Every structure is written in structure tokens, then in C-alpha cells.
Structure 1
């Protein structure tokens, strides 16, 4: 049996025309097909993929289409919800689509804690409250951002091409050639413990 690998990704924005155009595509079909190709080429059925938010553009129909797209991708998926995900508690009816999300995701949460190569790492859709990324909109969603207490953070949200800033690693597809990031690549960016 193949060994299980872990992957991280964020901000696929399946079916989101504006984001597809910003990424150089003329339509969502080509955009979504390219993201599927890159996911399918990397991830196997036994792998675990952490999706750090913003699966679609939002809206019930868009989310259901994106969930169908994701259900066709290999791997076990866990979601850290973002602002475009209807299951995030910032949305008034956050529980309405939860049963649909749980058909695709093994778990749905706002944050998680992992240990990668002996280094404690937090997972969140949003960068830290004190983010200095110029692509980040300051003070937006401030109540949902974790405080920076010196622990490394994996995040999405910014759509920046920069992978590392301070104690934060951006795992969004915009920084990783539109594909998921293997745990080994994240480990290489983290300090050696000790």
C-alpha cells in the first residue's frame, strides 16, 4: 500500500471568473480544469489534503458546484474555512451547507495545529493579525485572524505570489503554480527545531 502524504492548498476559487481572469484564464472551465490537472497529478487516493479556504466564489450554487469538483479529486480532504466558504461562522446561515461540505470533507474547522518536522504550525485561511503582506487588506476580517505569538502559520487568503513572510507560509495556489503544496516543501521552509 502506498504511503500517505500530506498536502496543503488554499484559494482554488472554483467557478470564480474574476479570479480565473486574474490568473490568466479567459474562462472558468479552463481554470478549473488546470487546477484539477495539477491536483490529480500530485495527490493520490491515500493522501490527506488540507484546504485552507475559499473553495469557490461563494453563493449556494457556486459552492455546490465546487464541492462536486472537489469530490472528484483524489485524497481525503479537511477544510479550514475561509471568507468565501458558506460554512464559515461569519455567514449568518453557516450551518445550512454544512451537511454538503461534510460529504466531501472529513472535517471542517476554523483553524488547526500540526507538527511538521518537529515544528509547531498553525493552519488558518487568514494571515496573522499583524500581516505585513502588501497583497493583504489590513483590518479586513480582523476578528477571524489569529494573533501572531511566534508560532509558524500556514495560510491562504492573500492571493500573493510570495510564499514566506515572517513566520507565515502562504500555501495558496497563487504562490505554488496552481497546485497543492507537499508537506516536504513546507518542511523545507520551516526552521530546524532545537
Structure 2
């Protein structure tokens, strides 16, 4: 059995033209292509990718076409753009072959440590007083890290638009804990 890695990411907003105001791309097609390429440059077919919301703004057919190009077993923690105005999962998102049904909240273990996953940043999270970690999206790199909590979205300056591993995401935070 091949070694499986887990990756974390958020806020791809495939097809969302508004993102061009904040990202260095001229067209949605260029942005989508870059996001697909950077994803596939790190993720292998059997790896698990936790996507913490706001996956795609495209219609069902284009969203499915992009999804099928992305490597890995994809899991979705729902973001505000993954839901319709009634709060239901958008059809273009619900119809995808997720590794698990999309959810509003998740937890996983990495390197023996508990990781709390949500689309939104939280000041406190499950088991935070016991050293758990909290990964989120939504803020597009505009919120500073807080304790063991950080933005893992593609717009965070240290991820280069690619999904990242737990160790990569927490390395600088661990160094800061040692210094403190």
C-alpha cells in the first residue's frame, strides 16, 4: 500500500471573476489553470485533500470538469459560496464525487495531533486548551495567525496557491511557540 499524505487548502473560487481583483491573473481561465496545476504539482492520486470551503463558482458542468482534473481524494468542509441562498449545498457542489459527504465542520488527526477544520476562523475551537490546531479559509490571507489557528487558503502568502501538509502549515507556528 502506498503512503498517503493529507493536504489542506481553501478558497479556490474556481470560475469566480471577482477573485481576479485580488489575484495576479488576467482571466478566470488563467486562474483556474494555475490553481489546477499547482494542486496537481503536490497532490498524488491516493492523497487526501481537505478543502475548507468556497470550491467553485462555475456551473455544474464546468465545476465537474475541474474536479475531475484534480488529483487526490477530495473532502469538503462547506464554505459560504458552496451554499445557495437557502443554505442548501449548491447542486454543482453536491453532485461531485467527494470522498465523504460535504460537511460544515470536521476533525482529523495529523502526526498524532488533533486538527479542527472549519471554513471560518474561530477565536476558540474544540480542544484548543488541550493543544489542538485549527485550520480555516474564508479570510483570503487577511487574518493573522492566532495561537494554533491559521488560514490555509490559496491566498495565504506562504502556500503558493497549492494545498499544503500539516507539517508545512505548522512549521513557522511551532518555531514561534519555541521562541515564546
Partner of 2:167: 184
In structure 2, the CA distance between the partners of 1:163 and 1:174, relative to structure 1 (3 Å rule), is: farther
1:106 aligns with 2:99: yes
* TM-align CA RMSD: 2.7
- 5+ unaligned residues in a row in structure 1: which ranges? 132-145
Q: TM-score, normalised by structure 1?
A: 0.75
Q: Deviations over 1:31-54 (max 9, x none)?
A: 010011101111111111011000
TM-score, normalised by the number of residues in structure 2: 0.81
From the superposition, tell whether residues 148 and 64 of structure 1 become closer, same or farther in structure 2 (CA, over 3 Å). farther
Are the aligned partners of 1:119 and 1:191 in contact in 2 as well (CA < 8 Å)?
no
The aligned residue for residue 171 of structure 1 is 152
Quick check: 1:40–1:73 contact (8 Å CA) kept in 2?
yes
Structure 2 matches for 1:141-180, cutoff 5 A? 149-150=128-129, 151-160=132-141, 164-175=145-156, 176-180=159-163
- 3-state SS of paired residue (1:56): coil
2: CA distance, partners of 1:120 / 1:169:
14
Q: How many residues align?
A: 170
Q: Structure 1, residues 96-116: CA drift from partner, whole Å, max 9, x if none?
A: 628x63532122101111122
8 Å contact from structure 1 (residues 55, 63) kept in 2: no
Supply the distance in 2 between the matched residues of 1:112 and 1:92 (Cα, whole angstroms).
22
Give 5+ residue unaligned stretches, structure 2: 176-180
